Chains A and B, each alone.
Chain A
Amino acid sequence: MCPSPTREIRRTRPGRAALLAALVSMTSACSGGVLDPAGPVGAADSNILIVATVIMLAIIVPTILLAFWMAWRYRASNTRVEYLPYWSYSGRIEAVVWSIPILTIMFLGGVIWIGSYRLDPFRPLPSAQPPLEVQVVSLDWKWLFIYPDQHIATVNQLVVPVGRPVHFSITSASVFNQFFIPRLGSMIMAMPGMVSQLHLQADKVVTTFGQSAQFSGDGFADMTFTVSSVPEAQFATWAQGAAGAGPMLDEAAYLKLLQPSRNVPPQAFGGVDPTLFEAIATQKIAPGPGPEPARPPHSGREVSALGSR
């Protein structure tokens, strides 16, 4: 069964349970969206999302009802209520209508301020274990994951151990992308010449998907990757098995990867050049070439690059 955020909230504040249950069942949280978190970051993010929603629903539901009630009660055909053709000011009502939004936003401002600090993607997660280091490169149109400590690399496939924080260092080798695993939580941009940091953790064994959440060109729709969180021991076995098994990811192999390609199946590299990520992030290796430039017979229109379906 799916352990949805409902249970957690119900523990903290029973009053919200009904609303939440409706919200959660409506979005069928079990099918693996952001309201079905598999780790602490996702859980905290979605908790804030739900709390903010509930705070605002408490204000806007009465507001909408008031609007419809007012329109209906003072309909032109209802001559039983008093007509006040000159009534257009009331200091008390003014004070209330300014106060309601101001108080709501002050409260929400607190949520925003605290949430922004607590859930800053750059901030390491509290844990007894040292984080697993993963270097992420977005390419046209696939993801490269380098495990520097395990000396392996994968394409479009991410495996992480359960219960241990993962520290992602993220860059792009061509255009902007956005690194996002919905069930693990926060996303962050992948930008050329820059390294963004992201700390995530999986708390249970799941197989889910990650994707780019920033349009990056023709192959964008297939910039998805599989994410498996596995028990620590299984992770170690997988990493040892992968090491030395596949080809080596050196600059030459990377340059081949750098060429645009679509819908790339997962693959693994059994070894990796330890300076590679640094060279990509600092653009010592030039960024990806992009689509083929227009050739004379197609002047002005881009030729779609290398459809390799």
Chain B
Amino acid sequence: MFGKLTWSAIPWEQPIPLITSLVVVLILLGVLALVTVKRWWPYLWREWITSVDHKRIGVMYCLLGVVMLIRGFADAIMMRSQQALAIGTSQGYLPPEHYDQVFSAHGTIMIFFGAMPLVIGFMNFLTPLQLGVRDVAFPTLNSVSFWLTASGALLVNISLFVGEFARTGWLPYPPLSESTYSPGVGVDYYLWAVQISGIGTLMTGINFVTTILKMRCPGMSYMRMPMFTWTAFAASLLIVAVFPILTATLAMLSLDRFFGWHFFTNDLGGNPMMFVNLIWAWGHPEVYILVLPAFGIFSEVFSTFSGKPLFGYRSMVMATLFICVVSMMVWLHHFFTMGAGPAVNAFFGIASSVIAVGTGVKIYNWIFTMYGGRVRFSVPMLWSLGFIFTFVIGGMTGVMLAVPPADFLVHNSMFLVAHFHNVIVGGVVFALMAGIDFWFPKAFGFRLHEGWGKTAFWFAFVGFWVTFAPLYVLGLLGMTRRLQHINFPQWTPWLYMSVVGVGILILGVISQVVQLVVSIRDREKLRDVTGDPWDGRSLEWATPSPAPFFNFAVMPNVEGEEAYWGIKLRAIETQRLGPEPQYEPIEMPVNSVVGFYTAVFATVTGFSLIWQIWWLAAVGLVGAFIGFVVFAWRDVHEYHVPADEVARVDRARRAARLALLERIAEREAST
């Protein structure tokens, strides 16, 4: 009746996962109770759960990403402390069965459910605003994408309490991940969680390629798009190109595991090397799906906080597309030691270092953006400068790893671990932190506390280096990754130092949380009444903060690069706004429950496939399909916002803008 699922699937005798999951369940119940008592359900349902507004979906993506980053960070704390405690004869506090799940979950959660949702959240929130349009091309599909990602995240976290998670690393290499060597449900949890969220991501890619190609406001030609939008476009192209590879590869592994097929097995013609090739043909572009939008965020930050246009905009676009294309030709550098032969290794080594040309150009262009500027060291700018330092060093160690004979010494070592954290934390996470401080007022109407933001930055920056610099050393000393205990006591000082770094990072995370709490408390003091708190340059700053659900009362008309900067300069020069436009009713997409509904049934399907409860899987699939059919036959898909309502919102915006103009004039008069 319930497939492999029995009461013994719950880890009654293992205190760590049991207590953790009890705490998580209690917190969840507490939140649900609070929402019920405060009667927030109708609001949540109407404004968030069924919303198809790209900004709301973007915020939900970011919320999911932040929660999962903290969850993954908890895993990281366990890994670092376990390795520091399990030296010599000691076994630490995590047995291999548990430790192996922890590092697998850490990687999976950080990439798929932490970094990806945050990056996609920024793409959602910003792209339509920067393009001067009211929504993405397929708003309801967007909601489905988000809820499928949330469904995948839920499945990963269910594995903590019911059954187990994969013990194979974040990319489950066969033969280890085949049913012979991993007979439990751990790998299945991985497979279905990633499959379900991967489908969501693929639809996001399609949605944004379409949005950017087809839905720009009048005058917004390709070479006038803000840099972030360009990078979102490149990342979406990569998603469309490579996520099908991931889906197909994981589907083949599932067929091996469920039905005893032989795509990647040891015998009967199976070839595990093929899995490694395929997964990295997705896996390497995935890195650039994360880091390109991060580069976009830095481009916006450097230009805004230097008070100047981005230096070499065309060069930046070229470098972005260059990276986008070349990133698909480098995957083999993840396994030089497979023995592919010198010509193949050399080709992929050179291709990998060629990517550094694109990133190198970007670094120099950011530096020259500051040249002749008036650089303000606000929180986003601190993260960006910290990024240049961290990422350049990460890039250097990356090119070291791209040299095959050097890689033969440090492949899979702690050096590698330090390298990719150097670029993913230093590149992607720093960008996300910068972006959160930068665009928070646009989403919520008030700025984040500056002092706590700076505190968080310094703790994170110092903590990062204290944690990961020792790992470089350990890698050079020969320490490989994923060790549950350490047989070589001479590595002890470096392992201890790394734990100290984690302690500093914890302070950084706490400061970040405090920043949020303090900012919510002081929101009236931090309120952004202008809609343009940073002296911005692209169209999102032309809207009030928070942006109204229809973004723009009338479509902006773009007449050059840096659309909003041009409008603003004209207004400052003439000391008045443009003439009040003729307000017309606006068509907006109606809310839809289909995203949430689909995700509920996707979760049921995923869970039952993991436990091989076939009838329930059928129920889930049929249920999801019914949702699709009902949605396809809908009669009403748009509604009109009356012209009066549009006029009311926009007149308030214009009044705020006029006040801003007067303030600028006063300031200029006084200096």
By a beta-carbon cutoff of 8 Å, the part of chain A in contact with chain B is: 26-28, 31-35, 42, 44-46, 48-49, 52-53, 56-57, 60, 63-64, 66-68, 70-71, 74-76, 81-90, 93-94, 96-98, 100-102, 104-105, 108-109, 111-113, 115-123, 174-176, 178, 180, 182-183, 185-189, 191-194, 196-197, 209, 211-222, 224, 283, 286-287, 289-294, 296-302, 304
Chain B residues with Cβ under 8 A from A68's Cβ? 385, 389
Contact B350 A217 (CB under 8 A): no
CB distance from A88 to the nearest CB of B (A): 4
B335, B364, B395, B476 — which one has the most chain A CB atoms within 10 A of its CB?
A: B476
Contact B181 A119 (CB under 8 A): no
Whether, in the assembled complex, B61 has its beta carbon less than 8 Å from a beta carbon of chain A, the answer is: no
Contact B399 A108 (CB under 8 A): yes
Contact A175 B181 (CB under 8 A): yes
Contact B372 A112 (CB under 8 A): no
Whether, in the assembled complex, B577 has its beta carbon less than 8 Å from a beta carbon of chain A, the answer is: no
Q: How far is the CA of A301 from the CA of B6 in the complex (A)?
A: 11
Contact A304 B411 (CB under 8 A): no
Contact B350 A57 (CB under 8 A): no
Chain A residues with Cβ under 8 A from B186's Cβ? 302
Whether, in the assembled complex, B403 has its beta carbon less than 8 Å from a beta carbon of chain A, the answer is: yes
CB distance from A255 to the nearest CB of B (A): 16
Contact B175 A175 (CB under 8 A): yes
CB distance from B399 to the nearest CB of A (A): 6
Contact B405 A74 (CB under 8 A): no
Chain B residues with Cβ under 8 A from A122's Cβ? 339, 341
| Residue of chain A at shortest CB distance from B490 | A31
| Residue of chain A at shortest CB distance from B395 | A60
Contact B403 A115 (CB under 8 A): yes
Whether, in the assembled complex, B639 has its beta carbon less than 8 Å from a beta carbon of chain A, the answer is: no
Chain A residues with Cβ under 8 A from B406's Cβ? 45, 48-49, 52, 115
Contact B373 A74 (CB under 8 A): yes
Contact B374 A83 (CB under 8 A): yes
CB distance from A141 to the nearest CB of B (A): 10
CB distance from B485 to the nearest CB of A (A): 5
Q: How far is the CA of A297 from the CA of B183 in the complex (A)?
A: 14
| Residue of chain A at shortest CB distance from B488 | A209
Q: A116-B343, A300-B163 are in contact. List 5 more A-B contacts (CB 8 A).
A: A27-B473, A186-B409, A218-B100, A294-B4, A300-B164
Contact B360 A112 (CB under 8 A): no
Chain B residues with Cβ under 8 A from A209's Cβ? 478, 487-488
Chain B residues with Cβ under 8 A from A44's Cβ? 405
Interface string of B1-33 (1 = CB under 8 A from A): 000111011010000000000000000000000
Contact B365 A97 (CB under 8 A): yes
Contact B11 A301 (CB under 8 A): yes
Top-8 shortest CB links A-B: A84-B372, A182-B478, A101-B360, A33-B477, A97-B364, A186-B408, A116-B346, A302-B184
Q: How far is the CA of A49 from the CA of B366 in the complex (A)?
A: 29
Chain A residues with Cβ under 8 A from B164's Cβ? 300-302
Chain A residues with Cβ under 8 A from B411's Cβ? 178, 187, 213
Contact B404 A94 (CB under 8 A): no
Q: Which of A46, A64, A183, A289 contacts B180 (CB 8 A)?
A: A289
Interface string of B388-417 (1 = CB under 8 A from A): 110011011001101111101111110000
Question: Which segment, of B135-143, B304-312, B547-555, faces chain A?
Answer: B304-312
Interface string of B473-495 (1 = CB under 8 A from A): 10011101111111110100000
Q: Which of B345, B395, B480 contacts A211 (CB 8 A)?
A: B480
Interface string of B33-56 (1 = CB under 8 A from A): 000000000000000000000000
Whether, in the assembled complex, B380 has its beta carbon less than 8 Å from a beta carbon of chain A, the answer is: no
Whether, in the assembled complex, B173 has its beta carbon less than 8 Å from a beta carbon of chain A, the answer is: yes
Question: Which segment, of B66-74, B266-274, B630-638, faces chain A?
Answer: B266-274
Interface string of B333-345 (1 = CB under 8 A from A): 0010111011101
From 278 to 333 in chain B, residues with beta carbon under 8 angstroms from any chain A beta carbon are 306-313, 315
Contact A63 B345 (CB under 8 A): no
| Residue of chain B at shortest CB distance from A111 | B403
Q: Which of A82, A112, A216 contacts B404 (CB 8 A)?
A: A112
CB distance from A201 to the nearest CB of B (A): 15
Whether, in the assembled complex, B442 has its beta carbon less than 8 Å from a beta carbon of chain A, the answer is: no
Q: How far is the CA of A90 from the CA of B315 in the complex (A)?
A: 11
Whether, in the assembled complex, B594 has its beta carbon less than 8 Å from a beta carbon of chain A, the answer is: no
Known pairs A70-B367, A112-B353, A197-B339; A56 contacts B402 (CB<8 A): no
Q: How far is the CA of A297 from the CA of B667 in the complex (A)?
A: 76
Known pairs A52-B403, A67-B367, A116-B345; A220 contacts B360 (CB<8 A): no
A85, A212, A296 — which one has the most chain B CB atoms within 10 A of its CB?
A: A85
Q: How far is the CA of A188 from the CA of B409 in the complex (A)?
A: 10
Known pairs A97-B312, A109-B353, A112-B402; A71 contacts B337 (CB<8 A): no
Known pairs A185-B409, A189-B338; A299 contacts B478 (CB<8 A): no
Q: How far is the CA of A90 from the CA of B312 in the complex (A)?
A: 8
Q: Can you list 18 A-B contacts with CB-CB less than 8 angstroms, sorted by A residue number?
A: A71-B377, A93-B312, A97-B365, A115-B403, A116-B345, A116-B404, A121-B337, A176-B175, A180-B480, A185-B409, A186-B409, A188-B339, A192-B175, A193-B267, A209-B487, A214-B412, A298-B8, A300-B9
Whether, in the assembled complex, B169 has its beta carbon less than 8 Å from a beta carbon of chain A, the answer is: yes
Contact B167 A302 (CB under 8 A): yes
Chain B residues with Cβ under 8 A from A102's Cβ? 357
Q: How far is the CA of A64 from the CA of B360 in the complex (A)?
A: 12
| Residue of chain B at shortest CB distance from A89 | B312
Chain B residues with Cβ under 8 A from A213's Cβ? 337, 411-413, 480
Q: How far is the CA of A48 from the CA of B400 in the complex (A)?
A: 9
Known pairs A34-B410, A302-B167; A63 contacts B363 (CB<8 A): yes
Q: How far is the CA of A213 from the CA of B370 in the complex (A)?
A: 44
Known pairs A178-B337, A302-B182; A93 contacts B412 (CB<8 A): no
Contact A218 B96 (CB under 8 A): yes
Q: How far is the CA of A24 from the CA of B175 in the complex (A)?
A: 38
Known pairs A82-B372, A178-B412; A74 contacts B338 (CB<8 A): no
Whether, in the assembled complex, B368 has its beta carbon less than 8 Å from a beta carbon of chain A, the answer is: yes
Chain A residues with Cβ under 8 A from B363's Cβ? 63, 67
Whether, in the assembled complex, B660 has its beta carbon less than 8 Å from a beta carbon of chain A, the answer is: no
Q: How far is the CA of A302 from the CA of B482 in the complex (A)?
A: 19
Q: Which of A27, A64, A178, A297 contacts B476 (CB 8 A)?
A: A27
Q: How far is the CA of A112 from the CA of B353 in the complex (A)?
A: 10
Whether, in the assembled complex, B349 has its beta carbon less than 8 Å from a beta carbon of chain A, the answer is: yes
Chain A residues with Cβ under 8 A from B357's Cβ? 98, 101-102, 105
Q: How far is the CA of A118 from the CA of B408 in the complex (A)?
A: 13
| Residue of chain B at shortest CB distance from A82 | B372
A27, A28, A213, A294 — which one has the most chain B CB atoms within 10 A of its CB?
A: A213
